[in-house]
Chain A
Amino acid sequence: MTRGQRLSAWLLLAALAAPLALAGEIPRDQRRSGADFMAPETRAMQADDTANPAMLWVLEGDALWREPAGAAGQSCADCHGDTAESMRGVAARHPAFDEASGRPIDLQGRINQCRAERQSAEPFPPEDDRLLALTAYVARQSLGLPADPPDDPRLVPFQENGRHLFERRIGQLNLSCADCHDDHWGGRLGGAPIPQAHPTGYPLYRLEWQTLGSLQRRLRNCMTGVRAETPSFGAPDFVDLELYLMRRAEGLPLEAPGVRP
């Protein structure tokens, strides 16, 4: 598909989606991982730890976990010990409410918070390979556990904002996330199948990127796709959207670090 054809595919979908009433949220028993929509070869790449390129970052994360950093000279391991115990399930319940800021915080944000406040080290910039490596390593400890967003009443307004962002039409193509991911999942956009937009595989290795990337990077791609402005990395709206996506995915097994085309 050429660039021009790709754009016309989006426009076609814009035309198609516009008159439809919102079909609404995907019922629990119909929720499917993005991996289900991939070619068998890509699925096999994700399933085989010796072939999944994201495992290179997990390995790097394992080394960073034990490496002292910052003025405090402490490693993550000094405080948290064995990840298999201390980090099990942590990715499945993030974003979570952060007392300090009075807002939800996602897993990467939490890791950077520990880095800044407990290690007294410079926080990692967005999409830094070290941050992705640590996040992938921590998320990996929740492999197979169901997405389990916290039932914390303080999160509700932020989750509702996330839902609003998901259902709001944006960009030159005037499409909402829901137009594609609630109402047209399973359909195709040019050559690509439209998945349900679950966050359960992140951070993941996207073949298109040729590297590991965060969920926020992925969301930015979809926003660029509809030719909308993208919030900057770490923007509160992004975390609210992540929170809503996690709620939408409740019950689906975590599969980070995944592989996607």
Chain B
Amino acid sequence: MTDRNAFALGRRGVLAAGAAQILVLALPRVALARPTLEEAVRAFTGGTEVQAGGVRLDIPPLVENGNAVGVTVAVDSPMTPDDHVRRIALFNQSNPQPEVAVFRMGPRAGRAQVATRIRLATSQTVMAVAELSDGSFWSSQAKVIVTLAACIEDLS
């Protein structure tokens, strides 16, 4: 049985959180220990070489707020049983953790395209890597500049 209401919008008063509402992802100590983007990509590909190209990564070059940045990844693929995209992964350069998401799909997708919204703690590079059914990996990357809102809850 699924608990339909298990994630019901939190009932707490948001303000009680006070200082906890500050910037979400910035924790320098953790950031220092994190694997690099390259290491994370290698873990995803199992060491197979990644070729540049074949992947379209749509992300705005300048965003107003890093908490919700729209990303669309598309791969030029016929999406047939013999020739399709199996997985698409998103990585970042400077959040506390390099992984963002891994999407699994197959010929039934019709089109190799996925969109989501991601958090970027600061201006940085975002990378999309696609795994094709022939075992090859393709990638594309983009630089994003993140500005911060002016009036936030904690300014000190």
Contact = CB atoms under 8 A, between A and B. Distances in A.
Q: Determine if chain A interacts with chain B.
A: yes
B155 A3 contact: yes
Given A128-B11, A224-B155, A192 B150 contact: yes
Contacts of A1: 147-148
Contact of B67 (A127, A133, A207): A207
Interface in B24-69: 24, 60, 62-65, 67-68
Interface in A128-142: 128-130, 133
A179 B156 CA distance: 22
B82 interface: no
**Which secondary structure characterizes the binding site on chain B?**
loop
Contacts of A192: 64, 147-151
A261 interface: yes
Given A6-B155, A210-B67, A127 B150 contact: no
Contacts of B147: 1, 190-192
B1 interface: no
A127 B9 contact: no
Contact of A224 (B8, B24, B70, B153): B153
A39 B63 contact: yes
A104 B148 CA distance: 35
B151 A191 contact: no
A110 interface: no
How many A residues are at the interface, by size bracket? 35 or more
A191 B155 contact: no
Contact of B148 (A57, A191, A218): A191
A220 interface: yes
Interface in A1-49: 1, 3, 6-7, 9-10, 38-39, 41-42, 45
Interface of A: 1, 3, 6-7, 9-10, 38-39, 41-42, 45, 53, 56-57, 60, 125-130, 133, 189-192, 194, 206-211, 213, 217-218, 220-222, 224-225, 227, 233, 261
Given A217-B14, A221-B153, 17 more contacts: A1-B147, A6-B148, A10-B155, A56-B9, A60-B8, A126-B13, A128-B13, A130-B9, A190-B147, A207-B65, A207-B149, A213-B14, A218-B151, A225-B151, A225-B155, A233-B15, A261-B65
